Structure 1
Amino acid sequence: MNILITGGAGYIGSHVVKQIIENTDHSVVIIDNLSTGSLKTIKTLNEIRQQTGKNTELTFIEADLKDFQMIEGIFKAKKFDAVIHFAASIVVPESVKNPIKYYMNNTVNTTNLINLCLKYGVNRFIFSSTAAVYGQPDEIPVKETTPTQPINPYGRSKLMSETVLNDVGAHTEFKYIILRYFNVAGADLKIRIGQRFPNATHLIKVAAETAVGKRDKMYVFGTDYPTPDGTCIRDYIHVDDLADAHIKSLEYLNDNNSDVFNCGYGRGYSVLEVINTMKEVSGVDFKVEYTGRREGDPAILIADNTKILNNLNWKPQYDDLKLICKTALEWEKKLLQEEV
């Protein structure tokens, strides 16, 4: 197949590209505006492709999805068989302050992408969604059938795109998989690619940056939640396991109808457990300060992953908090070396 991957120079997208290059014979076209992606990542992906010795193509086009005319030109020229769509804005506090950015990028641009798929006969679409569509769920673990009640523009913008997919798929040959991510972390086990985006808000990356000295300290937001140690509990999934779910999703659409899957391990760790694990794997007792809750943080968010395990032929390989923290830490060390 010839696969379009939007946001393929970014964190999760690049890990999917890497696995497609290494494990399949598909060709890949990456579209990325480099707002959070990196040309260094593209260079590394090309090196990985060369090492495989395959004749598959990897093409990078710097483009913004809001440039509808340019994106349509790419569809005309490249004749895609499938789209894996990552390119999105993902910072929850920013979405509250600047909701228009999130609705334009996450909803309008996604809808245009779906429209181009219909126009040019691209009938397979993998959508990067989020557990934020559930808001503050009443049931834990969260099932795919749990009511979607997002509490911020980020979650609502993603849910709107899910609605477009549902409506389009109901009356056409267009098939899709919606993957609702829980907390993605870690890096490629060979430490070739990882999360490059600066000013990270993800807990494990922030802890790794603090462990290597990029930050003087890190903060814990809220210690009075109804959890065993008072801090929030989340379901952390290694980025390579998540990447594998995207490839399994493409395969699934060969013989199955559209569907929605939670992407998580089905168990959670508290903020303090994550910090203590990072301190253990790094051997650094870095500084942690405690402050008040952030608006909109649910106390516990854990995936019920029964459906993806039973239906997608997906078997997690890296369900190990120490391993996730270690790969995140080694990646931060590599980024430090780049700066020297």
Structure 2
Amino acid sequence: MKTIVITGASGYIGRCLVTKLLALGDYRVKVLTRHSQEISSSACLFPNSVEVVIGDLQAPELLTGLFERDCTVINLVYMWGAGIADNVAVTTNLLRLCSAAGVGRIIHCSTAAVVGRVEENDVTEDTVSNPITEYGKTKLAVEEVIRGAQNFCDVAILRPTAVFGIDGAPLKKLASDLAAGKRVTNYLKSCLFGRRRMNLVHVDNVVASLLFFIDYQDKFGAEIFIVSDDDDPSNNFADVEHFLMNRLAIPPYKFPRFLIPLGVLSFILNRLGRNNVNPRCNYSPNKISALGFRRPKSFMSGLEEYAEWWRSTGLRQ
């Protein structure tokens, strides 16, 4: 039975990954929990079959027994608001522990946000990154540290786009705004955003890519892979908004949308200091697909699932 150690497992992707690993039943799962006072909440997050290790990567000397020889490590750790130096320090501690234990593979979950501001409409793993925000810069710096782990084990780096799904964050603001009934505000926003690419990817597809990386037989050699649903033409604001309005029984706008040129939106995003100011930007999933990875959930079925969850949980009211 393959041992999987997950750091940052209490986050959205981590919880979904643990659930899937346990459902498959072919893996021994260990997770890192930062503080002992979280034991009770961790018990709610993770079933008894999950081995919970109490500790903190900021105090690596106390993390004995977390990593094991030939195990696979899934790194989902990110310290919000901590800045580049602290995140790099924690990642360095992680790699020292992994090296000492003799782990077999590290799969690091980064983000497509490391790409930042680029002129290309079609972004690939070879696109030169130009992050503007602290988040993007920090994530890119952590990637560089992770790549150094290839000196002692195999390494793969995953860059998902905006991860959505049941209880996920990216669509909550849009769905909430639509449900709140602020018709004028929503209409103006719809005119402004228009066909702006949403760059959404369903959490099931991200989890499936991590599972694919866990069981992949060849070496990755610190290669980077984008996982996205951007090859679906409906992955844009206007189509997603229209779909949610239809499924949530929200009446259409009284007037047709007056779509503002995307160049104007790009100018506004630039002035607001956003990381990605190209509303036509697509992140290509072709590289990971070429390895044989197949996404289990289509973009539209993911939206359907999300809308049904929204209705059934009473959030529509």
Q: Same fold (TM over 0.5)?
A: yes
Could you say what secondary structure the match of 1:234 adopts? coil
Check whether the contact 2:225–2:287 (CA below 8 A) recurs between aligned residues: yes
Check whether the contact 1:2–1:29 (CA below 8 A) recurs between aligned residues: yes
Distance in 2 between the 1:65 and 1:130 partners? 21
Check whether the contact 1:17–1:28 (CA below 8 A) recurs between aligned residues: yes
Distance in 2 between the 1:68 and 1:40 partners? 23
Deviations 1:291-325 (A, max 9, x none): 964421422331111110011x211122223x323
Deviations 1:101-153 (A, max 9, x none): 13255322122111210111113101111111111222222111011111111
Partner of residue 206 from structure 1, selected from 153, 164, 173: 173
Match of 1:256 in 2: 219
| Cα drift, residue 38 of structure 1 | 11
Q: Unaligned regions of 5+ residues in structure 2, if any?
A: 254-259
Match of 1:67 in 2: 59
What is the letter of the counterpart of residue 255 of structure 1?
A: D
Match of 2:239 in 1: 273
| Cα drift, residue 31 of structure 1 | 1.7
Match of 2:160 in 1: 181
Matched, 1:324 2:302: yes
Task: Give the TM-score normalised by structure 2.
Answer: 0.78
Cα distance change on mapping 1:152 and 1:221 into 2, 3 Å: farther
Distance in 1 between the 2:303 and 2:124 partners? 26
What is the letter of the counterpart of residue 243 of structure 2?
A: T
Partner of residue 76 from structure 2, selected from 86, 94, 98: 86
Check whether the contact 1:13–1:86 (CA below 8 A) recurs between aligned residues: yes
Cα distance change on mapping 1:319 and 1:112 into 2, 3 Å: same
Matched, 1:127 2:108: yes
Q: How does 1:233-248 map to 2 (within 5 A)?
A: 233-248=197-212
Moved more, 262-271 or 145-154: 262-271
Check whether the contact 1:30–1:60 (CA below 8 A) recurs between aligned residues: yes
Check whether the contact 1:133–1:155 (CA below 8 A) recurs between aligned residues: yes
Cα distance change on mapping 1:315 and 1:273 into 2, 3 Å: same
Cα distance change on mapping 1:335 and 1:120 into 2, 3 Å: farther
- Look at both structures and tell me which one has the larger radius of gyration over its CA atoms: 2
Distance in 2 between the 1:13 and 1:3 partners? 12
Check whether the contact 1:9–1:38 (CA below 8 A) recurs between aligned residues: no
Check whether the contact 1:2–1:27 (CA below 8 A) recurs between aligned residues: yes
Cα distance change on mapping 1:61 and 1:168 into 2, 3 Å: closer
Could you say what secondary structure the match of 2:245 adopts? helix
Match of 1:309 in 2: 289
| Cα drift, residue 181 of structure 1 | 0.8
| Cα drift, residue 11 of structure 1 | 0.8
Matched, 1:112 2:112: no
Distance in 2 between the 1:244 and 1:9 partners? 18
What is the letter of the counterpart of residue 114 of structure 1?
A: L
| Cα drift, residue 9 of structure 1 | 2.1
Match of 1:10 in 2: 11
Q: Unaligned regions of 5+ residues in structure 1, if any?
A: 50-56, 91-97, 188-193
| Cα drift, residue 15 of structure 1 | 1.4
Cα distance change on mapping 1:307 and 1:125 into 2, 3 Å: same
Deviations 1:47-88 (A, max 9, x none): xx8xxxxxxx41234544323233x22436x66711101121
Check whether the contact 2:158–2:225 (CA below 8 A) recurs between aligned residues: yes
Distance in 2 between the 1:250 and 1:85 partners? 12
Check whether the contact 1:124–1:176 (CA below 8 A) recurs between aligned residues: yes
Number of residue-to-residue matches in the alignment: 291
Matched, 1:147 2:147: no
Check whether the contact 2:70–2:105 (CA below 8 A) recurs between aligned residues: no
Deviations 1:168-194 (A, max 9, x none): 31xx2311110011121113xxxxxx4
Could you say what secondary structure the match of 2:66 adopts? helix
Distance in 1 between the 2:39 and 2:10 partners? 6
Moved more, 291-300 or 235-244: 291-300
Distance in 2 between the 1:216 and 1:13 partners? 34
Match of 2:149 in 1: 168
Match of 1:282 in 2: 248
Partner of residue 119 from structure 2, selected from 138, 142, 167: 138
Could you say what secondary structure the match of 1:300 adopts? coil
Distance in 2 between the 1:209 and 1:41 partners? 29
Task: Give the TM-score normalised by structure 1.
Answer: 0.73
Identity %: 22
RMSD: 3.4
